Chains A and B, each alone.
Chain A
Amino acid sequence: MNVQAIVKRIIKQLVRDKRSMALMLMAPIFVITLLWLVLDMDAYEPTIAVTDIPEHMSIALEDGDAEILEMTETGGKEALENETADAHIILEGETLHVTMEGSDSLATTAVQRIINQATEGINKQPFSLEIDFLHGSTDLNMFDHVGPVLIGFFVFFFTFIIGGVSFLRERTQGTLERLLATPLKRWQIVIGYLIGFGLFILLQSVLVTIYSVYVLGMYMEGAIIEVLIIALLLAVSALSLGTLLSAYAKNEFQMIQFIPIIIVPQVFFAGIFHVESVAWMEAIGKIMPLYYGGNALSEIMLRGGHLVDIWSDIAVLAAFSFVFILLNIFALKRHRAL
C-alpha cells in the first residue's frame, strides 16, 4: 500500500514534467534515427583517377562501384591535391602504382577493397566462392551490428539520469527526510521507485524497440518480448545504480558528472567495439551491467537466441540489480537508522 502510494506519486510527477517525459521517450528515438542515417548508408563510393591503365582493369574498377576519371599523370596528381579524387592509379611497366589521397581512412579502405576485388577478378581464382550465413546476411551493416547494444545503452542512460536525479531531488528538497519521518519502511521507498520508473522505462523500451525494428528496419531475428524483458532488467540495474550513486552527489550537476565516469565507459565494453584482444579491457567490461545487457540483446536480435540461451547474462543482470537495491536500502540508513 505504501509502495503503491509512492508509485502513484512518481507517475503523477513524471506526467506533469512534460520535458523529462519527452526526454525519456523522444530523445532515444531522435538519436537512434540520426545513427541510422549515418550508419545505414551504402558503402562509400570512392573516385579514382587513372592514367594509362588497361581497359578491362578500368571496367573491373567501375564494377566495384568506383567512379573512374581518365586523366593525365599531372592531372591525376592535381585531382589528389584538390581532393576531387581519392586515389590515382598509373600503370608503370608491369606495376600498378597507386597513390592514395590518404587523409580519410574510410576512403582509403574503400579504394583498397575495390582494387583487390578488381585484381582478383582479373586473375581468375582456381576455386569458385560461395558464401552462406549462419546468422544475418551480407545486408547486415554497422547499424544492425550496434543496434542491440544501442537499445540497451539508451535504456541504461536515460533511466540512470532521470531516476538518479529524481532521487537526488527527493533528498535535496527535504522530502526524503519527510518520508522517513512517516512509518514508511526504507525498502518501500526503493521498491516504489523501481516500479514507478519501471513503468515508464517499459514504455520507453517498447517505443524504441518497435521504432528501431519496424520503422528503421533494424535486423531482428528474435522475439520482441524477449528484447523487452532484457531491456527492463537492464533498466532496473540502471535505476538502482542511479539512485544509489545519487547519494554521493550533492546536486544535479554532480549527478551529471557520473555520465563520463559510469555511463560512457560502459559503451566501450558493451560489444560495439571488439575488445577481446585486450585482456584487461575485457576484464573491466565484465563488471559492467551494459556488457551483459548488450550481449544478451545482440544474442536475441542478431542470432535469434532465446532467454534460455542467455540465462547467464540474465542471472548476472539480476545479481547486479539485487546488490544495488540492497546497497540502496542500506544507504538510506544515513537518513534514518531504522
Chain B
Amino acid sequence: MTYIELSDIQHYYKQEQVLRNVALEIPKGQLFGLLGPSGSGKTTLVKIMIGLLEPKKGEVLVNQVPMPSLEAMQHIGYMAQSDALYNELTARENLDFFASLYKMKKKDRSKRIEEVAAMVDLTKHLDKTVEHFSGGMKRRMSLAVALIHEPDLLILDEPTVGIDPVLRDSIWSDLKKLQQQGTTIVITTHVMDEAEKCNQLGLLRDGYIIAQGSPDELRKQSETSTLEAAFLYYGQQKSEV
C-alpha cells in the first residue's frame, strides 16, 4: 500500500526552480532515504510532504489525503534540520507542550514523555532546561518531540548531524524498531553509510530525482561498488541527457 504519493512536483523560490518533476511513491512501513548534496532540494521536498509548503505544481497524497491537511498532520512526526525547541523550558515541558498540541490526554502525555525520553536516552535530563543541553542532546530532544504522539509517518531532516557514533547507532536501531511497528519513515541525509541502511533511496540532485531504488539495486545498475560512485554515475548520466 502506498503511503506517500508525490506526482509531478515542481517548486520555485522566486525565479529559482528547486524541484523539477519529482514523482515518488513510498509504501507503508518503508524506511525511505533521500540522498543528495546540500542545496539539492531535500528540505524543500520534505516540507512539501508534511504540508508546510504547497508546491507550485503537482500533488501530494499522504495516506490518500491530499496535502496540506491538518487531519493528516496529526499523524506525522517531524524533526527539522535545526533544533526547534524552547530553551527556557525544561525537556519535560517542551515535550508536554508539543504533546498537548497533538491533543494527547494528560495521563497519556506523562507516560509517553517517559517512553520517548528513554528512547533517546534523556531520562536523566528531563527536568533540565534545554538551554543547558549540548548540541547532541538537543538533536535527541528534537527526535523525541517528533516521536511524542506516536506518528504513523516520521519525517526526519538530517537527524544525525552532530550526534556521536554510539548514539547514532542507537537512534538507527530505534528507527528500525519503529519501522517494525509499522511506522513509515522518510529520512534525508548526505552521509552514504546512513543511506546504506535505508530500504529505498531517492537520489536528489539539482531538484531532480536522478535515480531511485534499494542501495543494492542502485549499485548493481550503475555497475559500481559504492553508493558514492553510484551517485556520481547517475549524476553524470543526467547531465549528459
- Give the B-binding residues of A (Cβ under 8 A): 1-2, 4-5, 8-9, 12-13, 16-17, 173-175, 177-185, 335-338
Residues of B within 8 A of A (CB-CB), count: 31
CA distance A1 to B73 in the complex (A): 17
B76 CB–A CB distance under 8 Å: yes
Contact call B80/A174, Cβ cutoff below 8 A: yes
> In residues 45-61 of chain B, which contact A (Cβ within 8 Å)?
50-54
Contact call B53/A1, Cβ cutoff below 8 A: no
Find B71's partner among A13, A16, A174, A183 (CB 8 Å cutoff).
A183
Residue of B nearest to A188 (CB): B101
What are 30 A-B residue pairs whose CB atoms fall within 8 Å in the complex? Answer: A1-B100, A2-B100, A4-B100, A5-B100, A5-B101, A12-B88, A13-B88, A16-B89, A16-B129, A17-B88, A173-B87, A174-B84, A175-B84, A177-B52, A177-B84, A178-B80, A178-B84, A178-B145, A181-B73, A181-B76, A181-B78, A182-B73, A182-B101, A183-B71, A183-B74, A183-B102, A336-B52, A336-B68, A337-B53, A338-B68
Contacts of A184 in B (CB 8 A): 101
Known: A1-B100, A1-B103, A177-B80. A183 touches B70 (CB 8 A): yes
Residue of B nearest to A181 (CB): B78
Contacts of A179 in B (CB 8 A): 101
CA distance A336 to B87 in the complex (A): 24
Instruction: Sort A-B residue pairs by CB-CB distance and give the 6 closest, nearest first.
Output: A178-B84, A174-B84, A5-B100, A337-B54, A338-B68, A16-B88
Contact call A185/B70, Cβ cutoff below 8 A: yes
Contacts of A185 in B (CB 8 A): 70
Residue of A nearest to B72 (CB): A183
Contacts of B101 in A (CB 8 A): 2, 5, 179, 182-184
- Give the A-binding residues of B (Cβ under 8 A): 50-54, 68-71, 73-74, 76, 78, 80, 82-89, 93, 97-98, 100-103, 129, 145
Residue of B nearest to A180 (CB): B52
Residue of A nearest to B68 (CB): A338
Contact call A183/B73, Cβ cutoff below 8 A: yes
Find B52's partner among A1, A5, A8, A181 (CB 8 Å cutoff).
A181
CA distance A326 to B53 in the complex (A): 21
CA distance A100 to B196 in the complex (A): 91
Contact call A174/B73, Cβ cutoff below 8 A: no
Known pairs A8-B97, A12-B88, A183-B103; list 20 more (Cβ under 8 Å).
Answer: A1-B103, A2-B101, A9-B86, A9-B97, A12-B89, A13-B89, A16-B129, A173-B84, A174-B84, A175-B85, A177-B80, A178-B80, A181-B50, A181-B80, A182-B73, A183-B70, A183-B71, A183-B74, A338-B68, A338-B69
- Nearest CB on B from A44, distance (A): 49
CA distance A182 to B145 in the complex (A): 11
- Nearest CB on B from A169, distance (A): 9
Known: A9-B89, A175-B86, A177-B80. A182 touches B98 (CB 8 A): yes
CA distance A336 to B93 in the complex (A): 25
